[in-house]
Structure 1
Amino acid sequence: MVPVLLSLPFLLGPAIPQETPGAGPYSLAFLYTGLSKPTRLFPKFQATAFLNDQAFFHYNSDSRKAEPIGPWRQIKGMEDWEKESQLQKAREEIFLVALKDIMDYYKDREGSHTFQGMFGCEIQNNRSSGAFWRYAYDGQDFIEFNKEIPAWVTLDPAALKIKRKWEAEEVFVQRAKAYLEEECPRMLRRYLNYSKALLDRQDPPSVSVTGYLDPGKNKTVKCLAYDFYPQGLGLRWIRTGKKRESESRVDVLPSGNGTYQSWVVMEVPLQDRGPHFCLVEHSGLAQSLTVPWEEKQKTRDKGILGTQPRHERTELRKSPSLYQQDPKSRRIWQQKT
């Protein structure tokens, strides 16, 4: 089995609340992954660069080419992709040597292991507001760079060999510090000249409300919000006269097309026929959106109990005021240094 692979949205966790477009925060991050036993789906090494939470170029050990992805394919002059490919090849070699050193330390050359690294920076109001550079081995914290000392800080016994190698010449430590404090923010500002409109966009959610019944159980109603960006979202069930009802909520998840999706589920007693409302709050909406669910047909042993028609969901997206009731109110490993 391939060890668990972490992706940037999950490493960063919940999104930073979106501020005034143009002010930020904006971030540039690189996620590197090396595998001791590559597969058809996961090459030996791959690197993905992100602007905020959006992947904008990718490199792997099979193609050995850094190539823009998504809407960045259409942007000309943003990067010298041949030069970037050569840089990623050099980083690939260093990265895989580190993975081999760790496996040698643990005398484990047979198992399947993962080495991952993430580094990058953040700016807000055109000023540097944070930077990070850390690595993990098989999903566990391994080593990180503290730019204030500056030095590499070991978080695993095997990291000491890596630290000694990376700190053999003081100039390498100073280069790492300069990269985080100067080069990375400068690169991010240059990228923003081409990408600001994509990162500042506000795509409101489309909403679907459904319900079903399993024999011997309460009714279950689900509110799904999808195709929205940025990922900050408020989503809950309410009822007239009640501020909040019981709910079950999953995290906001990427949809795979540059947008996000999320849903909230609630159990309703059989005798309760509503109405219930799904309250949706998002920066892309001029005002909060309240979508009703009412049981519109006789309850069956199992089946859909009331689904918003597709044309109605589309209309909701265009005209959120149709169901407006409340005024709008308005994280790689866990945190950035």
Structure 2
Amino acid sequence: MITMVPVLLSLPLLLGTAVPPETPAGAHHALTFLYTGVSRPSKGFPRFQALAFLNDQAFFHYDSESQQAQPLGLWSQVRGMEDWKEESRLQKAREEIFLVTLRDIMDYYQDSEGSHTFQGRFGCEFWSNGSSGAFWSYAYDGEDFIRFNKDIPAWIPLDIAAQETKKKWEAEKVYVQRAKAYLEEECPGILRRYLNYSRTQLDRQDPPSVRITSHVVPGRHRTLKCLAYDFYPQGISLHWNQARVAQESESESVILPSGNGTYQAWVLMRIDPQDRGHHKCSVQHPALPQPLTVQWHER
């Protein structure tokens, strides 16, 4: 059987972070690498793939079919940020070890023919007020599997099979210390280096385009939808007004990535089908010099 631990921890530069649900005050920066391995690949979903994020923006991708790490979107125009041939080689090594771990878990559960997924999240983040954070965790079939606690330091098993994984990954104490050093020292350094190449992409401001749509449920109500799209950064405010009075919306505004490095958001309001009032949607966003107001016109 292939020895996992040395290779697993000899590739720390590939690992990144996800943003926690609550963050300290101040500007926030994060480096995130997300890994996914599957036992039964399918068209459009390779056996292994990796995505890397700076803050909330995907900046490179690798998968087992292309076997190449490639910059995404605006980062394809950045020169000198990374040696992509070397990154591809490292990601290939990561792929092999990652899939070995998946097979080991399946062997433990004696389910070598099943359809299973192994995922990893790694990384670091910091804020302008001096706070910092990091984590390193894995999941199997959508359930927490094992995570690294850098304060102990140790791998914490969260599944029965993870007890065996812990034994392998802690066979040599030096590998635990290297994982701790990665989270506390190496990853923040990598993040700062990447940010130096990415200020233009991350600091940009794209104003939203806005339109209103209407849908009528016969005999019941009309739903107005105020949609804002193609904006960046993520923060935006949408609300309905009538005659300068704020109206209660049917739902809180929903904000989702558009898949092209921008966001889209919408808010719904339900009115009487016969209502011909002057309903307006007000939009506030950092890229707008002043709030934007769009009025609904029945068609």
* TM-score in terms of structure 2 length: 0.87
Matched, 1:208 2:211: yes
For the structure 1 residues 239 and 209, does the alpha-carbon distance in structure 2 shift closer, same or farther, using more than 3 Å as the test? same
- Deviation of residue 229 (structure 1)? 0.8
- Deviation of residue 17 (structure 1)? 10
What's 2:133 paired with?
130
Which sections of structure 1, spanning at least 5 residues, go unmatched?
1-10, 296-304, 306-337
- Deviation of residue 248 (structure 1)? 2.5
For the structure 1 residues 190 and 228, does the alpha-carbon distance in structure 2 shift closer, same or farther, using more than 3 Å as the test? same
Alignment check: 8 A CA contact 1:14 1:232 kept: no
- Deviation of residue 279 (structure 1)? 2.2
The letter of the residue matching 1:206 is S
Alignment check: 8 A CA contact 2:249 2:267 kept: no
2:162 to 152, 159, 164: 159
Question: 2 CA distance for matches of 1:141 and 1:267?
Answer: 40
- Deviation of residue 204 (structure 1)? 1.6
Matched, 1:176 2:176: no
Which sections of structure 2, spanning at least 5 residues, go unmatched?
1-17
What's 1:237 paired with?
240
Q: Render the CA deviation track for 1:268-327: whole Å, top value 9, x for unaligned.
A: 1123221112122222223332322243xxxxxxxxx3xxxxxxxxxxxxxxxxxxxxxx
The letter of the residue matching 2:225 is K
What's 1:289 paired with?
292
1:146 to 130, 146, 149: 149
Question: 2 CA distance for matches of 1:91 and 1:265?
Answer: 45
Question: 2 CA distance for matches of 1:130 and 1:285?
Answer: 32
What's 1:322 paired with?
none
Question: 2 CA distance for matches of 1:289 and 1:260?
Answer: 17
Q: Render the CA deviation track for 1:196-236: whole Å, top value 9, x for unaligned.
A: 11111121211101223232221121100000111122222
The letter of the residue matching 2:40 is K
1:120 to 106, 120, 123: 123
> Is the partner of 2:160 in helix, strand or coil?
coil
Alignment check: 8 A CA contact 1:254 1:260 kept: yes
Query: Any runs of at least 4 consecutive aligned residues in structure 1 with deviations exceeding 4 A, and if so which?
Result: 11-19
- Percent identity, aligned pairs only, is 65
The letter of the residue matching 1:281 is Q
2:54 to 51, 54, 57: 51
- Deviation of residue 33 (structure 1)? 0.4
Point out the structure with the larger strand share. Answer: 2
1:272 to 255, 268, 275: 275
* TM-score in terms of structure 1 length: 0.78
Question: 2 CA distance for matches of 1:130 and 1:163?
Answer: 23
> Is the partner of 1:148 in helix, strand or coil?
coil
Q: Render the CA deviation track for 1:36-82: whole Å, top value 9, x for unaligned.
A: 00112111111111111111111111121211121111111111112
- Deviation of residue 28 (structure 1)? 0.6
For the structure 1 residues 210 and 239, does the alpha-carbon distance in structure 2 shift closer, same or farther, using more than 3 Å as the test? same
For the structure 1 residues 155 and 64, does the alpha-carbon distance in structure 2 shift closer, same or farther, using more than 3 Å as the test? same
